[in-house]
Amino acid sequence: MNFYIVIPAHNEEAYIAQTLQSLIEQTFPPKKIVVVNDNSTDGTQTIIDNFSEKYPSISSIKTNSKDEHIPGSKVINAFNKGLETLDEHYEVICKFDADLIFPSNYIETIETIFRKNKECGMAGGFCYINKNSTWILETLTNKDHIRGALKAYRKECFSEIGGLKSTMGWDTVDELIAQYHGWQVCLDETLKVKHLKPTGKYYSKASKHKQGEAFYKIRYNYILCLIASLKLAVKKKSLLYFINCMKGYHKSKRNNLPFIVSEKEGVFIRKLRWKNIKKKFLLF
């Protein structure tokens, strides 16, 4: 299968060489890698150029979004810029972050998953972070969710879900819509990817209400938003995070912001969420 990879990058000179090197060393190498340099002011472009001179599969483009790191929109806008430069001959499109070190068998394993399971629409491994010189699982989400940092999509699935939404929560809504269309989300716990930069480390203060806004845009009702916000706040050990989520939800509802899923998709999403909640607490 032909793998194309798009990597949004903003001021990643400390990490991107390790990411690109780990992709070059794959046992099943990707056909194309395009790095989207989003308004970097450090040495990111120089590092990319050094790799592209040595490896024909690597290319880059530049884009200039706003400086602040608003989760979701900034990275997906950059991803879409990179996607526009690619031809249609891919069978798998990957959205990878620029601060990861992939095990050498990562793409080979993902390719095997897609080849053996025709109903698998997207696949991925797990992020691990360095804590006290030990690499531990980054436990921000459930183990049935693929982190946005390392997603691979079968072309047909990617097309059917309409690509990636330019909003916070894009890496949740993509999986929900994929399941609405009958695709499976596949994870492999043996694929341990080193995540060099903690998630959300550089999010701006302006993004504090964005998670609640994302819950509203995927048509969560109040109770689902409450449960989801509380769950995230517990993981982050932050009461303020919970408060900001709920404020974001109420603000979005008050301003009647547009939804990013259809009414039918919203019904499916709510039913699926309640099913998973009941399953978790053994309330079948």
User: pLDDT tens digits for 209-233?
Assistant: 888 999 999 999 999 999 999 988 8
Question: Can you list the positions of beta strands (E) in 134-248?
Answer: 134-137, 150-154, 184-195
Domain boundaries, the chain: 3-195, 208-280
| pTM above threshold 0.85 | yes
Distances (CA, A) of 149 to 124, 243, 280: 9, 26, 26
Q: Which tens digit of pLDDT belongs to each residue from 150-185?
A: 999 999 999 999 999 988 889 999 999 999 999 999
pLDDT at 284: 47
Whole-angstrom Cα distance, residue 251 to residue 257? 9
Asked if the model's pLDDT at residue 143 lies above 60, the reply is yes
Q: Does domain 3-195 have CATH number 3.10.100.10?
A: no
Contacts of 50 (CB under 8 A, 6+ apart): none
How many angstroms from the chain centroid is the CA of residue 159?
17
Whole-angstrom Cα distance, residue 154 to residue 92? 5
**Hey, what are 62's tokens?**
């530049």
